[in-house]
Amino acid sequence: MVLTPLRIGIVCYPTIGGSGILATSLGIELALRGHEVHFISYERPFRLPLEHTSIQFHPVDIGDHELFKYPDYTLPLSVKLAEVSRDHRLDILHVHYAVPHATAAILALSMLDPSQRPRVITTLHGTDTTLLGSHPAYGPAIRHALECSDAVTAVSTYLEGETRRLLQTTQPIEVIHNFVSPVLPRRSRLETRLELGVGEDEVLLIHSSNLRPVKRIDLLLQVAARLKEQSRFRLLILAGESFAPYEAEVRRLGLEDRIIVRGRTQNVEEYYSAADIGLITSDSESFCLSILEAMFYGCPTVSTRVGGIPEVIQTDSTGLLVSPGDVEALASQVSELIVNPERRKAMGQAAKQFAESHFTAEIIVPMYENLYYRKTEKAR
């Protein structure tokens, strides 16, 4: 069916992190389907291709005003959102994160003539509910932004429930899970392992995150320390932020020759294809996009059973889940997979199949498109 193309503004954090990655993939997929897409952020999202005829990037100039003791992003963002909405006659403003993005979008609407106002869709990714939702200085602003949005989505059923519980909003919240558009790695598994200095006889564990406290890098290193005595493995950490704060702990645990750190990278597919087991030790996670990325490349993950992760991993079939904080159990489950390549491979294949039958762009993007059409007067 041919759809009437929409003009869609996407607001996201441009830095490494699941929400920015998801928003960028969504924008690319929408452009491929014929929509006109405008990204608005303080920096170009890092996975956004430089050349794309139906995608434009509009930077927000934050400036450096000595007048303010603390830098302000919400106001310049709202002015830019009003400008882009007016100049490009946007149908939809899809904001990822309630604060400050939905707040700025709501403010932008009030700067526009009613005939120029796009519909505001707010997608919740996690921390604005789980961290800020119960914060007295943010909760009411988040609730207000949700109630003023034309539609709200959450990336997992868990997050939908938590948002209802913590924010007591009356807005309907639609669950639209995250998706991944896998790309073909440009290097072979062997070439990537060569670059990493990992032998074919070594099991390669992988952890990819922004290393924020909720990711529990302390536990990740403790698991590696427990495995050190019994197994031949290396742990690759794809670090979205600086790994420097953890280097002393790596030395203290004697893990220098086991841990490989790589910084911000575009080519995660090469690393997931070269890896054997994913390892996630988070205290909280609304979805965990990096688990899904690993699944698409046939890499099963051992993770803590928190938040929305059980919607992504079916324990014993597509990965393994253990109680949060249980270093012993995490290590023993990883160890079980290290010594059992057959089980590991079968689990990786099951993970890939599950990802391909539930979380592809072909399945998820039309859910967003449907929502957009329902909220605009435009016919499909």
Which positions lie near ligand GMT, rule CB under 6 A? Answer: 17-20, 22, 125-127, 130, 155, 178, 209-210, 212, 214, 284-289
Query: Please, which residue, 82 or 133, has the CB nearer to ligand GMT?
Result: 133
Q: Is the dihedral of CA 335, 303, 253, 272 positive or negative?
A: positive
Minimal distance, residue 14 CB to ligand GMT, in Å = 11
d(CA 320, CA 184): 26
Q: What is the largest CA-CA distance in the chain?
A: 67
Q: Give the C-alpha distances (Å, rounded to integers) separating 14 from 20, 40, 43, 58, 177.
A: 6, 9, 6, 12, 20
Instruction: Tally the C-alpha atoms within 13 A of residue 121's C-alpha that lie toward its C-beta.
Output: 25
> CA-to-CA distance for 71 and 367, rounded, in angstroms?
36
Please identify, using beta-carbon distances, which residue of 196 and 217 lies nearer to ligand GMT. Answer: 217
Side chain identity at residue 136, one-letter code: P
Q: How far is the CB of 215 from ligand GMT (least distance, A)?
A: 7
| Complex with ligand GMT: residue 58 or 212, whichever CB lies closer | 212
Residues 6 or more apart whose Cβ sits within 8 Å of residue 187? 195, 267, 270
Q: What angle do CA 181, 268, 273 make, to 5 degrees?
A: 90
268, 186 Cβ separation under 8 angstroms? no
- Pick between residue 284 and residue 335 the one whose CB is nearest to ligand GMT: 284
Cβ closer to ligand GMT: 203 or 214?
A: 214
Residues 6+ away with beta carbon under 8 Å from 301: 277, 278, 279, 280, 291, 294, 295, 313, 319, 320, 351
Q: Residue 174: is it exposed, middle or buried by C-beta count within 10 angstroms (0-12/13-18/19+)?
A: middle
Distance of closest approach, residue 292 Cβ to ligand GMT, in angstroms: 8
Closer CB to ligand GMT, 120 or 159, in the complex: 159
> What is the spatial distance between Cα 221 and Cα 275, in angstroms, rounded to a whole number?
18
CB of 210 to ligand GMT, least distance (A): 5
Distance in Å, CB of 115 to ligand GMT, minimum: 33
Residue number with CB closer to ligand GMT (202 or 283): 283
Shortest Å distance, C-beta 6 to ligand GMT: 22
- Least distance from C-beta 79 to ligand GMT, angstroms? 24
